[in-house]
Amino acid sequence: MAAELPISQDLIDTHNAAHRDALEEDYDHLKRRLKRNGVDADAVKQRVKALELATPTWGAGVGGTRFAKFPIPGEPTNIDEKLEDCAVVQQIGRNTPRVSPHFPWDWTDDPAALKDKASTLGLGFDAVNSNTFQDQKNQTHSYRYGSLTHTDAATRAQAVEHNLDCIEMGRKLGSKALTVWIGDGTNFPGQQSFTKSFERYLDSAQQIYAALPGDWRMLIEHKMFEPAFYSTVISDWGSNLLAAQKLGPKAQCLVDLGHHAPNVNIEQIVARLDAAGKLGGFHFNDSKYGDDDLDSGSINPHQLFLVFNELVEAEARDPSGFNPAYMIDQSHNVTDPIESLLSSAEAIASCFARALAVNRDHLTAAQHDNDVMGAFQVLRRAYNFDVGPLVAMARVEAGGAADPIALYRQSEWRAIKAQQRARASGAAGIV
């Protein structure tokens, strides 16, 4: 089926033509600077071009806090419209080729048609996400006291069944992974046995694992707190790793950057999970206080750079076993979600480019010699490069826009959609 991309290619071409001279000048300058650091800019550019981030369907809508949601005109209200908006992000940014659906929010009775629709828009499907952290309409058993870890066997069976349905739907959509995050936990000391609830988790997760197709992965997402505020069953990378090791090789750990205590050394967690062969993937976002779901790189781009520094090292250590799934997981309360996704995709690509600009030989030598300041300066030098022209050049060469947000605004996409789409509701709810 021929692609029907949402934004006019003429508009992108005209926009890029206006930027071409300045972009080439800036890129050539950066190329000379990187060369003096022993790094080949064109090689970095090729790696940046190959970077693929998934966009979550829920990230295409305006997010809510637990207090309120403020919809914007033209916001998508169904899976078809969400796909269209994700296609805009992909067409302009060129590094978000797959969409990660969430069930039951994106449930469809015609997965073949949905797959076709995505493919027409130039998109594929990434990991499917199950949801047992909310009760759905007509659900027999409530998840008020837990889902996969509930004390009641029938409630656990219902939660397992939902995950099996997600795998089946994902199979029809061309997905290769199931991401499982549960809200199970406690609000009071003594409410549950830490040991027994983890055992119940393993028992339920084993049943889901057994249903995975041969080439699938199960990505386990940990989170320190919320909605449970005293304890969470899969609270941290340690519990996550224990579960993934117990389940088997297809189970891996997913690191959501916002799901840790403030100031936790997430880059070290990345190194540990990789060493254990269990680094499954990421949910990229940023935070100031907790699971804030702020835009990637908006608060602490240096941390994001250090995470990518570990990823580049991990890949260099064992290229064959390195295959983490990257996804953006943010909540956009006060911006147009397309602009936030474009901004985040660029921030992530920039941190990847900076990590590739690290002179690895110099870093290794400084570490070996215990040249502390020398090692730090190797990282600092790479972090300080303005890699914007390289990331823009990679995007333009792949068919995207030199200045994504400017192009998006010029397209008037949201204003046009405001005329065509039904108005979103303002109901609140955490996701």
Contact residues for Mn ion (CB under 5 A)? 256, 283, 329
Question: How near is the Cβ of 290 to Mn ion at its closest, in Å?
Answer: 13
Structural element, H or E, at residue 332: none
| Inter-residue contact 93 to 408 (CB < 8 Å) | no
Amino acid at the residue 100 = S
Count of C-beta atoms within a 10 Å radius of residue 247: 19
Query: 283 or 395, CB closer to Mn ion?
Result: 283
| Inter-residue contact 227 to 253 (CB < 8 Å) | no
Question: How near is the Cβ of 326 to Mn ion at its closest, in Å?
Answer: 12
Structural element, H or E, at residue 221: strand 217-221
Query: 179 or 197, CB closer to Mn ion?
Result: 179
Question: How near is the Cβ of 55 to Mn ion at its closest, in Å?
Answer: 13
Query: 256 or 403, CB closer to Mn ion?
Result: 256
Question: How near is the Cβ of 283 to Mn ion at its closest, in Å?
Answer: 4
Amino acid at the residue 360 = R
Question: How near is the Cβ of 401 to Mn ion at its closest, in Å?
Answer: 28
Residue identified by tokens 């809508």 is 61
Amino acid at the residue 62 = V
Count of C-beta atoms within a 10 Å radius of residue 243: 24
**Composition of the chain by helix, strand, coil, percent to 5:** 50, 10, 40
Query: 282 or 385, CB closer to Mn ion?
Result: 282
- 116 token code pair: 């076709």
Q: What residues contact residue 37 under an 8 Å CB cut-off, 6+ apart? A: 357, 359, 381, 382, 385
Question: How near is the Cβ of 322 to Mn ion at its closest, in Å?
Answer: 21
Q: Which of 78, 77, 135, 128 is nearest to 103 (CA)?
A: 128
Handedness of CA 376, 377, 383, 384 (dihedral sign): positive
Q: How far is Cα 337 from Cα 99, in angstroms, rounded to an integer?
A: 14
Burial class, 308, CB count within 10 angstroms (exposed 0-12 / middle 13-18 / buried 19+): buried
CA 26, distance to chain mean position in Å, is 30
Query: 89 or 378, CB closer to Mn ion?
Result: 89
Question: How near is the Cβ of 263 to Mn ion at its closest, in Å?
Answer: 19
| Inter-residue contact 194 to 231 (CB < 8 Å) | yes
Query: 85 or 329, CB closer to Mn ion?
Result: 329
Question: How near is the Cβ of 256 to Mn ion at its closest, in Å?
Answer: 4
Query: 325 or 391, CB closer to Mn ion?
Result: 325
Query: 102 or 395, CB closer to Mn ion?
Result: 102
Question: How near is the Cβ of 56 to Mn ion at its closest, in Å?
Answer: 8
Q: How far is Cα 87 from Cα 91, in angstroms, rounded to an integer?
A: 6
Question: How near is the Cβ of 294 to Mn ion at its closest, in Å?
Answer: 13
Query: 291 or 346, CB closer to Mn ion?
Result: 291
Query: 256 or 274, CB closer to Mn ion?
Result: 256
Cα 230 to Cα 21, 188, 235, 239: the distances in Å are 57, 6, 10, 16
Query: 205 or 254, CB closer to Mn ion?
Result: 254
Q: What residues contact residue 185 under an 8 Å CB cut-off, 6+ apart? A: 146, 225, 227, 228, 229, 230, 231, 232, 233, 235
Question: How near is the Cβ of 293 to Mn ion at its closest, in Å?
Answer: 8
